[in-house]
Amino acid sequence: MTDDRSTAHAATSGAPAGPGDHRSGADDAPLLEIRGLSKSFPGVRALDGVDFRLHAGEVHALLGENGAGKSTLIKVLTGVHARDGGEIRLGGVPIDAADTADAQRLGIGTVYQEVNLLPNLSVADNLYLGREPTRFGLRSARRTAAMARELLAGYGLSIDVTANLGDYSVAVQQIVAIARAVDLSGKVLVLDEPTASLDAGEVQTLFGIVRRLTARGIGVVFVTHFLDQVFALCDRATVLRNGRLVGERRIAELGRLELVTMMLGRELEAAQLHRRRGEGPKGEAFLAFEGFGRHAYVNPFDLEIRPSEVTGVAGLLGSGRTETAKLLFGIKEADAGSATADGAPLRLASPRAAVAAGFAFCPEDRKTEGIVGDLSVRENIMLALQARRGWLNPLSRGESKALADRFIKALDIRTPDAEKPIRLLSGGNQQKALLARWLATEPRFLILDEPTRGIDVGAHAEIIRLIERLCDEGLALLVISSEIDEIVAYSDRVLVLRDRAHVGMIEGADVTVDRIVGAIAAEGPATAAGVPA
Amino acid sequence: MSFARSFRLSGTGAPQLATLAVILFANWLVFPEFFDLRMQDGRLFGSLIDVLNRGAPVAILAIGMTLVIATKGVDLSVGAIMAICGAVAATMASDGYSLPVILIAALAVGLVCGLWNGLLVAVLDIQPIIATLILMVTGRGIAQLITEGQIVTFTHQGLIAIAGSSFLGLPMPVVIAVVLGVAAAALVRLTALGLLVESIGVNRTASTYAGVDSRSVLITAYVVSGLCAAVAGIIAASDIRGADANNAGLWLELDAILAVVVGGTSLFGGRFSILLSLVGAMVIQAMNTGILLSGYPPELNLIVKAVVIVVILVVQSPVAGRLTTFFRRR
């Protein structure tokens, strides 16, 4: 493992730009050049001085975990968001797209995972929507169809263009969307997770089309979280993490392990890795899941949960981390296996059932799944406890006030008072208030999905200390995180996921960044022994 | 404690109370006898009493509508439920059933209607506007089936007394509206129902993940709305001493929604105040009465109503909120 290359500083200064390192020649000025791009949203710095270079005729992977800044970068590039700082040059000329239509005129087209076309219109109409070919000033359906057939023939697609787009498979719709985007823009094509809903054969067809486009000199930005596809298709990769550039690499010179390390990072200081692992009695397992799983969601797995133990969950985006959490918390009901609590069978059919069994869950998407924005900090803190008591057994105003004040003090939630709407708090304080909501129910098993996502450095350290404190107090925790070094810092053992399956459990002294990254990056069949030497 | 909360919310109801005052004042300008009250046979008479009495059905509908809208829903079927329950009450009255039986039957029908809406919304996850549209459309047909296509009239003294009698000088519908309003406000604020309704209205996913039983809370809201519509339907039937399946409660769902919105509850769900919805209902009725009293053609009523509502909505809009903060900072 080469530590120096995985830090942001070393990576940017060591970015490869040698001659002949690319088939279209990197000596040429890049087609698209982004420098020092910054973008902030209230409470979040989504992009912080990011550089990105795309050459004509290359496929450039844009990689990073959730919240790394990929989407923001694309949205700023295509005019959805206005940038705060930095420069975007296309063919050497500074550009500033006002909206997506403007970006298309400038030459930048985008195709999203969810095809943004109209399924109830014909393929031809979709291709020429808003710029219909006319004949004597009238819209000509025949000419539109003829032009559409010709355009799609260039993509090796011979279909009835007068049929409704919605009648075709997602793959065909995607090709139509690409054809439209390229036809409209013609210089840069951004593909945002294009393969997420395609099967293997369709992916190959898509790759063929992408290669044909690059041969025509179009630069393709390819956003994905399938590493295999990065290695199969891309010439170069740029990795972002937490809104910052980690580095740009040529795929040919990049190992799988190095790429995963770049994406997941190892930035915490050694001083923070102070948790004494494996000391003290862990007690008996009080929760057991056997063959627990759900078809097409998470493969069946076995898991035992013991008090005073932190189980870290590591894996790439889409590996089944959040899905595992939602299954354990009853948001999705398992269709295989069994769960037992203290030896008695446990049916987890809803979050309500999970809460009744002493479970608690802080979801990854705080804003849409966690906080109740317009309600006060006090009401958010009391919500889970009140829900468990039922509406006929209300906490009195005095009780809820005391509860909120106690947690505001204990967790150092920074708010002027308990009656402030929670949406006005910073991300870190919202997260602490959500923790307070669950701690108020005195849970036995706490599931945290990306508890440190999108919060500032100070609050980050506080949350980690809190996790350790709760564990010392006897709580069982399951913590999902994209930050491997963070997982290493607090976990007693680490569950590794790949392709929606639990592929390994790393325990005790083996819990190191290298072992975890190795297990995540391992190729081949998902086996429990998926940890390479 | 919980009543303190209601008062706090009422405290923020300054725009609603000011609007009501302005409209009452305007009514006094066009009709100087507007505030005159007479006592006759132990009962108050006067234009002000008319406003309260005529506004009572919408006020009662607004109680249930407030809860539904606070869950980010809407109940378009309340006018039709009024027609159904009015038809039930009138038919049973003309068949000579006793008052308690009539009331229980009509309320039970309202409860079933509310339950139906609630199940569609909470269990089948149908958008509220569509789910309640079903009963809005079919409800009048059901009411006609009950009355067998006739306008049923009755001389049942017990049922006539619901709208026709008075208590402490006030017409009975006003008393019923006030009692129901206070009781509903107490129900939601003395229990945790109000908090859970607001929580679901703001973020149903997060509430469900926090263990809130979103389904039963949603069903409760629609059932309360159905019950309120049943009460309003009984009053309407009692008032005309009969049931008119085609016209009973016609378009009143829209007045009820307006009353709730004027009362400051957002159609996006969340914070609500039942008492301010009652004020909203009075604002609407005061306008209706004022235009009738002024002698202007009643068609004007709709335009004046629209203008007043636009003004109230603009004052409550987030843009206006930002503007006031902007000017306060200066």
Mean pLDDT is lowest, of A311-325, A402-416, A448-462, B43-57, for A448-462
- Give chain A's contact residues with B (Cβ, < 8 Å): 329, 331, 350-352, 354-356, 361, 363, 368-375, 379, 382-384, 386-398, 437, 441
DSSP, collapsed to helix, strand or coil, labels residue A111 as strand
Beta strands in B54-106 (DSSP E): none
Dihedral in degrees, nearest 10, Cα atoms B107, B111, B112, B118: 160
Nearest to A387 among B4, B5, B212 (CB): B212
Q: What is the pLDDT of residue A533?
A: 32
Q: What is the average per-residue pLDDT within A489-501? A: 89
By C-alpha distance, which of A386, A377, A369 is closest to A407? A377
> Which of A391, A395, A430 is the best substitution to test chain B (most B C-beta atoms within 10 A)?
A391
Measured between CA atoms, how close is B194 to chain A, in angstroms?
A: 9
Instruction: Indicate the DSSP class of residue A165.
Output: G
Tell me the per-residue pLDDT of A340-375, one tens digit each, with 9 for 90 and over: 999 899 999 999 999 999 999 999 888 889 999 899
By C-alpha distance, which of A492, A486, A494, A490 is closest to A515? A494
Cβ atoms within 10 Å of A332's Cβ, excluding its own: 15
Residues of B in contact with A388 (CB under 8 A): 211
* Amino acid symbol at A55: H
- Determine, for residues B192 and A372 on separate chains, whether the beta-carbon distance falls below 8 Å: no
Q: How far is CA A209 from CA A25, A155, A189, A198, B42, in A?
A: 21, 6, 12, 14, 88
* Nearest residue in B to A434, CA atom: B210
Burial of A321 (0-12, 13-18, 19+ CB in 10 A): buried
Whether B51 shows a pLDDT value over 80: the answer reads: yes
Q: What is the pLDDT of residue B10?
A: 39
Token code pair at residue B131 = 């789910």
In a domain, B93, yes or no: yes
Beta strands in A152-309 (DSSP E): 188-192, 219-223, 236-241, 244-250, 287-294, 298-305
- Determine, for residues A352 and B213 on separate chains, whether the beta-carbon distance falls below 8 Å: yes
Mean pLDDT is lowest, of A134-143, B92-101, B141-150, for A134-143
Q: What is the average per-residue pLDDT within A252-271? A: 71
Phi and psi of B281, rounded to 5°?
-65, -40
Superfamily (CATH H level) for A4-107+185-264: P-loop containing nucleotide triphosphate hydrolases (3.40.50.300)
- Determine, for residues B209 and A351 on separate chains, whether the beta-carbon distance falls below 8 Å: yes
Whether B4 shows a pLDDT value over 70: the answer reads: no
Phi and psi of A119, rounded to 5°?
-65, -20
Whether A266 shows a pLDDT value over 50: the answer reads: yes
Whether A383 shows a pLDDT value over 90: the answer reads: yes
Q: How confident is the model at residue A384 (pLDDT cuts 50, 70, 90)?
A: very high
* Nearest residue in A to B208, CA atom: A351
* Nearest residue in A to B187, CA atom: A392
Give CA–CA dist B201/B184, Å, rounded: 18
Q: What is the pLDDT of residue B86?
A: 95
Q: What is the pLDDT of residue A439?
A: 93
In a domain, B306, yes or no: no
Mean pLDDT is lowest, of A77-81, A194-198, A260-264, B303-307, for A194-198
Q: What is the pLDDT of residue A267?
A: 52
Q: What is the average per-residue pLDDT within A52-76? A: 87
Residues of chain A with CATH 3.40.50.300: 4-107+185-264, 279-521
Q: What is the pLDDT of residue A443?
A: 93
Whether A528 shows a pLDDT value over 50: the answer reads: no
Residues of A in contact with B193 (CB under 8 A): 391
Mean pLDDT is lowest, of A358-362, A399-403, B154-158, for B154-158
Q: How confident is the model at residue B39 (pLDDT cuts 50, 70, 90)?
A: confident
Nearest to A386 among B192, B202, B205 (CB): B192
Q: What is the average per-residue pLDDT within A76-83? A: 88
Which residue is listed with tokens 């049923």?
B152
- Determine, for residues A329 and B209 on separate chains, whether the beta-carbon distance falls below 8 Å: yes
Question: Which residue would you say has higher pLDDT here, A217 or A25?
Answer: A217
Question: Which residue would you say has higher pLDDT here, A127 or B318?
Answer: A127
Nearest to A361 among B4, B192, B209 (CB): B209
Token code pair at residue B114 = 């509310």
* Chain center to CA of A139: 43
- Determine, for residues A397 and B5 on separate chains, whether the beta-carbon distance falls below 8 Å: yes
Q: How confident is the model at residue B234 (pLDDT cuts 50, 70, 90)?
A: very high
Tell me the per-residue pLDDT of B21-37, one tens digit each, with 9 for 90 and over: 988 998 888 888 888 88
- Determine, for residues A375 and B193 on separate chains, whether the beta-carbon distance falls below 8 Å: no
Q: How confident is the model at residue A26 (pLDDT cuts 50, 70, 90)?
A: very low
Measured between CA atoms, how close is B193 to chain A, in angstroms?
A: 5
Tell me the per-residue pLDDT of A404-463, one tens digit each, with 9 for 90 and over: 999 998 888 888 889 989 988 877 888 889 999 999 999 999 999 988 876 766 677 788
Host domain of residue B97 = 2-297
- Determine, for residues B203 and A398 on separate chains, whether the beta-carbon distance falls below 8 Å: no
Name the CATH topology of A279-521: Rossmann fold (3.40.50)
Q: How far is CA B144 from CA B86, B88, B154, in A?
A: 11, 10, 16
Q: How confident is the model at residue A250 (pLDDT cuts 50, 70, 90)?
A: very high
- Give chain B's contact residues with A (Cβ, < 8 Å): 1-2, 4-5, 190-193, 195-196, 198-199, 202-203, 205-213, 217, 270-271
Whether A495 shows a pLDDT value over 90: the answer reads: yes
Helix H or strand E segment including B261:
helix B252-262
* Nearest residue in B to A423, CA atom: B202
Instruction: Indicate the DSSP class of residue A122.
Output: B
- Determine, for residues A437 and B210 on separate chains, whether the beta-carbon distance falls below 8 Å: yes
**Could you tell me the CATH number of the domain that includes residue B169?**
1.10.3470
With beta carbons less than 8 A apart as the criterion, state whether A16 and A250 touch.
yes
Whether B195 shows a pLDDT value over 90: the answer reads: yes
Q: What is the pLDDT of residue A99?
A: 85
Q: What is the average per-residue pLDDT within A262-267? A: 69
In a domain, B223, yes or no: yes
Q: How confident is the model at residue B3 (pLDDT cuts 50, 70, 90)?
A: very low
Give CA–CA dist B317/B320, Å, rounded: 5
By C-alpha distance, which of A249, A291, A310 is closest to A445? A310
Average model confidence (pLDDT) across chain A: 83
With beta carbons less than 8 A apart as the criterion, state whether B34 and B27 touch.
yes
* Nearest residue in B to A330, CA atom: B209
Q: What is the average per-residue pLDDT within A322-341? A: 93
* Nearest residue in A to B193, CA atom: A391
- Determine, for residues B195 and A383 on separate chains, whether the beta-carbon distance falls below 8 Å: yes
Q: What is the pLDDT of residue B135?
A: 95
Give CA–CA dist B213/A392, Å, rounded: 13
With beta carbons less than 8 A apart as the criterion, state whether B208 and A363 touch.
no
- Determine, for residues A389 and B192 on separate chains, whether the beta-carbon distance falls below 8 Å: yes
Token code pair at residue B12 = 């923020």
Q: For chain B, how far is it from start to end, CA to CA, in angstroms? A: 36
* Nearest residue in B to A381, CA atom: B210
Measured between CA atoms, how close is A71 to chain B, in angstroms?
A: 24
pTM over 0.95, yes/no: no
Count structural domains, chain B: 1
In a domain, B193, yes or no: yes
* Nearest residue in A to B268, CA atom: A374
Give CA–CA dist B172/A175, Å, rounded: 69
* Amino acid symbol at B107: L
Give CA–CA dist A334/A294, Å, rounded: 5
Residues of B in contact with A435 (CB under 8 A): none
Whether B145 shows a pLDDT value over 70: the answer reads: yes
Q: What is the average per-residue pLDDT within A89-117? A: 85
Q: What is the pLDDT of residue B150?
A: 85
With beta carbons less than 8 A apart as the criterion, state whether A262 and A247 touch.
yes
Give CA–CA dist B200/B210, Å, rounded: 11
In a domain, B201, yes or no: yes
Token code pair at residue B75 = 């109940």
By C-alpha distance, which of B72, B62, B22 is closest to B258? B62
Q: What is the average per-residue pLDDT within A37-54? A: 85
Q: What is the average per-residue pLDDT within A490-514? A: 88
Helix segments in chain B, DSSP class H: 2-11, 14-30, 47-70, 78-94, 99-122, 128-147, 157-164, 172-190, 193-202, 204-209, 214-240, 252-262, 274-294, 299-316, 318-329
Whether A22 shows a pLDDT value over 70: the answer reads: no
Q: What is the pLDDT of residue B129?
A: 94
Question: Which residue would you say has higher pLDDT here, A141 or A370?
Answer: A370
Residue A240 pairs in a beta bridge with A245
Q: What is the pLDDT of residue A279?
A: 54
Q: How confident is the model at residue A25 (pLDDT cuts 50, 70, 90)?
A: very low
DSSP, collapsed to helix, strand or coil, labels residue A266 as coil
